[in-house]
Amino acid sequence: MLDSSLSQKLSISQTQRKAMHSCDMTYIYPTYIRVEHQPKTTFSKKYTLYLYREGFIDSEELVGVPVLFIPGQAGSYKQVRSLASESSKYSHTQKNVQDLDWFTLDLNEELTAFSGQHVLDQANYANTAIQTILNLYHGRVDSVIIVGHSMGGIVARTLMMLPNYVPNSVRTILTLATPHTSAPVLLDPVIYRLYQDLSRFWGPSQFTKEGKLRNVTLVSIAGGSLDNIVHSDSTGVHSIVPESHGFAIFSTSIPFVWTESDHMAILWCNQLVKRLAATLVNIHDHAMSVHGRMDILKQHLLETKSSSLITHHSLSMPQHVQVIDMTGNNSHLFFTNTNQPRLTVVKYSENLKLLTDIPEESDHKWLLVSCKKVMDDWSCQPLNNASVTILPSASSPTGSYRYFTPSSSEPIEYVGILEQAKITLQDNNASFFIIYNDEATVHWSSTWDIVMRRKDPLLIAKKYVSRHVFPQLRSSLFAYDLHLKSSKPGAGLIPLMVRQTVNGQEPKYYRQIKENESVRITFHQATGAGEGLAFSFYTDNQAMELVMRFDWYATLGRCLLRYGSVMLNFMYVCTLIILITQCSTYVHIGSRKFVSYKAALLSLLCKIASIDYDKLSTLIQRDNQGCVLWK
């Protein structure tokens, strides 16, 4: 079975091409088994619990960790298939990992975004389903992992507030495109009060040692700008859970995913579901501590990690040391094409970074070291405090780069790269290192400057890596168009790749950009103070000219997505007020017929302007048929 979206766009412009997702399909063989012998409750008559089994792989026996999938607005219980299928495939190909037993709720595809009572009913039934699931294991497990899509994530948070919730029966919640901070549509007073109750319940006091949520971890994943159902600004959880218990992340910044996904594609995008499956399977111990679960979640979902990726081994100092002089030069490239041990050192600076395409499995062949020079002798020690960030490869669709940021509690004089064996890639090409200073060029262009085209083109000098920041570009309502006007061809090592961040958050990558090609720049509201919109350009040591323009079409779309429901509510309220005004005018003027919509609107405006009814009556006359005319 091919799990894909039901519709595709027939054509896209050059400015849209780089913003479109490139999700792969997920192939599955689904089987759904209805779980019988559930407690008879009011909600068990309209909701159903199913067990998912992957064809040709899973048996009906429950041997793993239970996971409960909760669908969202008008969602089907069958939407669990991609995640469940990939987790089964992953657990059967890996060693020392436990299977996941996926359960899913059939909630009759209710419209939970429009009815808070539906959310409460589903949360009530979800608690009953969790107790049923735990009873199937006969005491072997005491908690369930929950994966919620869209409003299903709100159901997952709500169930903990209800009286029938069993304490500690849920310890890990993973939400996909869930509007945590605000309801998508506020047409129901119940859902308004529900969000208020959630805000109060999920407070800091609940995550203390005595709090009800002290053992709960919550991770929220957003699809980005392609999600036109739930605005990704509402998926943040920084105001809901402390950093020790959860985080929010965009699919564009998850290692080896690096792509946006729309509201439905986030459930079947193969790159993403594979990564999520590996993450959940590795939370193999249902009794794992919060710290242990957070370590696994960060290890699989965050792009920046600690230096634990660097293998620790004994040093074998070479006789010759190559010293790189970075004076007047931003970056330096060299290849790992030697069969002999080699030490390359560079003077340390706070902005120093190291970019390489060496895969993790070859980390035992090289080491990042901190060196000192005494007379003509060099002494080096492993640099264990470096952080590593995983980036997509600029030239390979499946490869990756990594850049290291060295740091140490002790003073560092030189940073060295110690190669102890020859390092080659799978295609037998030599790996490369690029050492560069990550100093930013600041551009004080405002959105108005870009609209009026007051600024000159963005000139990128001949560098392998350069960073440009725009401190005044912070509003997520606006969209821009980044256009490559001209470039001089390089050596073919690194095709142009752009890394976009806002306040250091929401990394987004645009790869293999060609001349006269554009990318659409969109981002979401970042928390805290920072540098604003920033771009890192990875080039083949070539000079380029880039122009940033204001994207009116995309900006209008983002405004409608953000405030569309508010505009609907506003027009609804205005219509009610005008109806009341028509009734009021009917009484005061003495006519036995209602005035027109235009006249009622004028009457309302006059009330706002404090014009009395005597003056208002002179503005309205009635013809022989009783129709209201304007003088």
Query: How does DSSP assign 511-566, residue by residue?
Result: ES--TT-EEEE---PPPSS---EEEEEEEEEEEEEEEEEE-HHHHHHHHHHHHHHH
Distances (CA, A) of 469 to 137, 474, 499, 565, 572: 54, 11, 12, 33, 42
Secondary structure of residue 186 in the 3-state scheme: coil
Total residues belonging to the chain = 631
| CB-based contacts of 555, cutoff 8 Å, min separation 6 | 477, 478, 479
Nearest Cα neighbor of 170 from 117, 224, 130, 114 is 130
Secondary structure of residue 81 in the 3-state scheme: helix
411's tokens:
């003073």
Strand partners, 416: 345, 369
Where is 136: in which H helix or E strand?
helix 116-136
Distance CA 539, CA 488 (A): 11
Distance CA 360, CA 213 (A): 36
Q: Are 102 and 77 within 8 A, CB to CB?
A: no
444's tokens:
């004080």
Distance CA 144, CA 573 (A): 43
Distance CA 594, CA 155 (A): 46
Q: Are 312 and 293 within 8 A, CB to CB?
A: no
374's tokens:
């005494």
Nearest Cα neighbor of 440 from 470, 410, 485, 395 is 470
In angstroms and rounded to an integer, the radius of gyration of the C-alpha atoms of the chain is 29
| CB-based contacts of 101, cutoff 8 Å, min separation 6 | 51, 62, 63, 64, 65, 66, 67
Nearest Cα neighbor of 250 from 218, 225, 277, 217 is 225
Distance CA 94, CA 77 (A): 27
- State the CB neighbour count (10 A cutoff) for residue 460: 20
Distance CA 577, CA 283 (A): 55
**Where are the strands (E) in 99-206, listed by range?**
100-106, 144-149, 170-176
Number of alpha helices (DSSP H) and beta strands (DSSP E) in the chain: 11, 30
* Catalytic positions, written as ranges: 150
Q: Are 593 and 626 within 8 A, CB to CB?
A: yes
| CB-based contacts of 292, cutoff 8 Å, min separation 6 | 285
